[in-house]
Amino acid sequence: MMSQYLALKAEAEDCLLFYRMGDFFELFFDDAKIASACLDIALTARGEHEGTRIPMCGVPVHAMEGYLARLIKAGHRVAIAEQTETPEAARKRMGSKALVNRAIVRVVTAGTLTEETLLDSRSANWCVVIGEAGGQVAIACADISTGRFDVVESDPDRVGAEIARLSPAETIASDATGFADLANVLRPRADFDSAGGEERLKRLFGVATLDGFGSFSRAALAAAGGLVAYLEHTAKGSLPFLRPPSLSQTDAAMAIDAATRESLELTTSTAGARKGSLLDSVDRTVTGAGARLLGADIAAPLMDRRAIEARLDLVRRFHDDSGLRESVRAALRALPDIGRALGRLAAGRGSPRDLGQLRDGLDGAWRLGERLGAIADKPALLDDLAPMLRGHGALIDLLTRALVPEPPVDAAQGGYIAEGYDAALDDLRDSGAGGRRAIAALEAEYRARTGIGALKIRHNGVLGYHIEVPARAADALMAQDSGFTHRQTLAGVVRFNAPELHDVALRVTQAGAHALAAEAAHLEDLTVTALDRREPIAATADALARIDVAAGLAERAAEGGWARPTLVDHGCFEIEGGRHPVVEDAVARSGGRFVANDCTLSESSRLWLVTGPNMGGKSTFLRQNALIAVLAQAGSYVPATRATLGLVDRLFSRVGASDNLARGRSTFMVEMVETAAILAQATPRSFVILDEVGRGTSTYDGLAIAWAVVEAIHEDNRCRCLFATHYHELTRLAERCEALTLHHVRAREWKGDLVLLHEVADGPADRSFGIAVARLAGLPPATLKRAKAVLDKLEAGRAKTGGLAAGLDDLPLFAAVAEQEAAAVDALRDALDGLDLDALSPREALDTLYRLKALAREG
């Protein structure tokens, strides 16, 4: 056995090997140690190998999916080695000591999951492959849980951004590629041959040419072929469902690099969770497929204005008709996820319940299509979608007749084919039911004959049907003339057989086995029939998802008072009453009110320099405008009173401080790398938000860098940009940069407290209110007082000499100031102790207060 195991382990390569032994999957050697620690299960030992005990652990077959989920989440890949013959077949083949044949039937990886329990219903599960050929690069990506298959031809410098957009569960590249650092799985170079890739695709889709799918470059063929080769490797020749590839270019969507996605928290928060992201704030979809599509839309805002307007028209139709919106959302909410049910069936991992989901989902889609097809004033996109919901009548009727109303997940127990669908199957079930009635009658007869009231006829997988009596009553049945044959003695009970029971049990067992075989044959036929319509079923699933997204966005717009954006061809960016949707939600939950702000960028004012205090709302203002651009081009209404936007080709965000110590980059280094990328890539059609550039180094260095960056954006990139800073010196650039305008977030000091108004106004801020913010943060009073003294010196020195640090030479040290203040406190305490308050006249009391105040001021 161990030789067989080691051979399979060598085939499994770097995967953990689940080795089927009866009702358990066993792991051995280092695999056992890894799994034991990850799954928190007992590590035992079995036999010896090369003189050493073999570590071992196992998981029950019936609970495998839960353990698989934990291993995959921990980053492992698992090869499943199943028994490919029965023990009886092995004995016939090799005799009593025969070893059952086993083979790896599947490699389970994060990117090749289809099981419902292993997937997040509201997130796509992308498996991504990077291919390159002839200096070109392409990315092939598939979500095999739904069959979606996309190929994107990319510039080499945009590959990282595309990977960030997809947020794949698994990324594969050639072990000889320059993109190996982006992949978590490396495969042989031969898998990425473009000619071989073309042949794989032709064979997969049964075509003589790929021209019907698009004009594929060599890099696209290399990537797509590499993806198919990887899926063949993991599925061991049984490919999952893939739809024909959809070919696109990276410039079809707004370019958003990984740093910007993280900064803006588009689909996940900085903590890596969906909660707190833009997607979470916007999502009002009621189906898993709709949620997955909305995530894709936000991750890849469109550049095609006509396509965006088509989405917006559909959102408007649902937004303006609340009754239609509510009825459509109610219908969608009741539908199962037919896309993923189809994916499981196509991958050979389907169940009767998946067929039932197809039946119910297609039937519901048909009825929804009828309703939507009849409404007036249909937008063009709905005209296209409504017919996709219909057209499955024959399949719906077949599945309705063939299946019970609620088919089970486990096909092994039968019971999913409806009565009346197959007369022969009904007869077998009747025979089985008659046999079970005969067994019940036998049980009554045996009780009467033996006088043993506790006698029962039971069934298990080893003995089959048998008679069981308490041990104290077994003697009478042990007699040779009793008509019963002893089978087994256990603690407290004894088991017997009888000729009559054997004959009846044989009929029941045979009828049951034949019924199960008949149901299995029907299941296979029904699955084949359904898969013959896989393409139109997948199209129906897509149409339902698009309708769900539109209705959900309409719901979000209605509840938030959002506006439809107006898209124009020139480079304007005009927002009235703009809000940050995530922050607005958080403020509302705390009982507050979000302060909306305007933003008007035009050719004469395309660069805003925004000053003002920390916590005043600069970063929120910057981000909300970037998010409005994303939502608008994704086809959504936006959180504003009015919005008129020129399309954004590239979006950049350099907001907040972070480091990447694993790659040897400090916070300032990361800031400079990201700023360099912006200056190298931003075009006049881009939108850029920058916050506190240059703050990670010395004041003079930082000011110089910020100054140069502002000039470069204004003169060279000429993009729309919001630039927030504390360097008030930069406001002087307004004198020489004709498209730069000055703005600030308003704040006031009232009775020593800082009041943050969160309003954006024209002109520069008069100061940064840094010490006031520090007071809000809870700095000790002595430290705040010392900071104020240093600030006064700095400002006085600058006014006198123009030097930033002038006047600091004669500034006493903090310790010396502290000693002076301590002495003043002592003097004030002594003066107070010397007072006889009862003896003071009103006039004397007033004079004493003035004297104490003067003493405190001197300190």
Q: Domain-by-domain residue ranges, the chain?
A: 2-108, 121-252, 288-392+533-558, 423-526, 561-767, 779-811, 816-858
The four Cα atoms 690, 692, 694, 695 give a dihedral, to 10 degrees, of: -160
Region 526-541: mean pLDDT is 96
Q: Which fold has domain 2-108?
A: MutS, DNA mismatch repair protein, domain I (3.40.1170)
Residue 96: pLDDT band by 50, 70, 90 thresholds?
A: low
Q: Is 121 annotated as a binding residue?
A: no
How far does the chain reach from its first CA to its final CA, in angstroms? 89
Q: pTM for the complete prediction?
A: 0.86
Minimum mean pLDDT range among 32-41, 418-427, 503-512, 619-628: 503-512
CB atoms within 10 A of CB 594: 19
What 3-state class would DSSP assign to 661? helix
DSSP one-letter string for 385-432: HGGGG---HHHHHHHHHHB-SS--S-GGG---BPTTS-HHHHHHHHHH
Region 480-484: mean pLDDT is 85
The reply to whether 2-108 and 288-392+533-558 are identical in fold is no
- Residue % of the chain over a pLDDT of 70: 93
Strand order in the sheet with 102-108: 44-49, 52-60, 24-28, 16-21, 78-83, 102-108
Q: Is 350 annotated as a binding residue?
A: no
The four Cα atoms 704, 707, 711, 713 give a dihedral, to 10 degrees, of: 110
Give the span between the Cα atoms of 331 and 367, in whole angstroms: 9
CB atoms within 10 A of CB 530: 24
What 3-state class would DSSP assign to 478? helix
Q: Which pLDDT does position 506 carry in this prediction? A: 85
| Percent of residues in the chain assigned helix, strand, coil, to nearest 5 | 50, 20, 30
Per-residue pLDDT for 56 more than 90? Answer: yes
Tracing tokens 């003189």 back to the chain, one arrives at 51
Q: Is 616 annotated as a binding residue?
A: yes
Per-residue pLDDT for 294 more than 60? Answer: yes
Residue 491: pLDDT band by 50, 70, 90 thresholds?
A: confident
Residue 595 CA, distance from chain mean position: 31
Q: Is 807 annotated as a binding residue?
A: no
Q: Which pLDDT does position 661 carry in this prediction? A: 45
**What are the φ and ψ backbone dihedral angles of 466, each rounded to 5 degrees?**
-155, 165
Minimum mean pLDDT range among 162-171, 308-317, 667-676: 667-676
Q: Which fold has domain 561-767?
A: Rossmann fold (3.40.50)
Structure tokens at 646: 């020129």
Give the amino acid at 729: E
Give the span between the Cα atoms of 72 and 593, in whole angstroms: 43
Q: Is 614 annotated as a binding residue?
A: yes
Q: Which pLDDT does position 46 carry in this prediction? A: 86
Question: Domain 121-252 sits in which CATH superfamily?
Answer: MutS, connector domain (3.30.420.110)
Q: Is 615 annotated as a binding residue?
A: yes
Per-residue pLDDT for 805 more than 50? Answer: no
Give the span between the Cα atoms of 599 and 606, in whole angstroms: 10
CB atoms within 10 A of CB 362: 27
DSSP one-letter string for 631-691: HHHHT--BSSSEEEEEPPSEEEEE-S---BGGGTB-HHHHHHHHHHHHHHH--TT-EEEEE
**What are the φ and ψ backbone dihedral angles of 107, each rounded to 5 degrees?**
-110, 120
Structure tokens at 356: 């039932």
Choosing among 1.10.1420.10, 1.10.10.10, 3.40.190.10, 3.30.70.141, the CATH entry for 423-526 is 1.10.1420.10
Q: Which fold has domain 288-392+533-558?
A: MutS, DNA mismatch repair protein; Chain A, domain 3 (1.10.1420)
The 10s digit of each residue's pLDDT in 734-749 is 998 999 999 999 887 6
List strand residue ranges (DSSP E) for 76-120, in order.
Answer: 78-83, 102-108
How many angstroms separate the Cα of 596 from the Cα of each of 557, 577, 619, 761?
A: 16, 5, 14, 12
How many angstroms separate the Cα of 164 from the Cα of each of 160, 161, 254, 261, 308?
A: 6, 5, 13, 8, 22
Give the span between the Cα atoms of 772 and 758, in whole angstroms: 15
Q: Is 618 annotated as a binding residue?
A: yes
Q: Is 36 annotated as a binding residue?
A: no
Tell me how many degrees the CA angle 75-123-125 measures, rounded to the nearest 5. Answer: 50
The 10s digit of each residue's pLDDT in 138-150 is 999 999 999 999 9
Strongest mean pLDDT among 211-215, 238-242, 648-652: 648-652
Q: Which pLDDT does position 423 carry in this prediction? A: 93
Residue 797 or 277, more confident: 277
Give the amino acid at 454: A
Per-residue pLDDT for 780 more than 60? Answer: yes
Region 172-199: mean pLDDT is 91
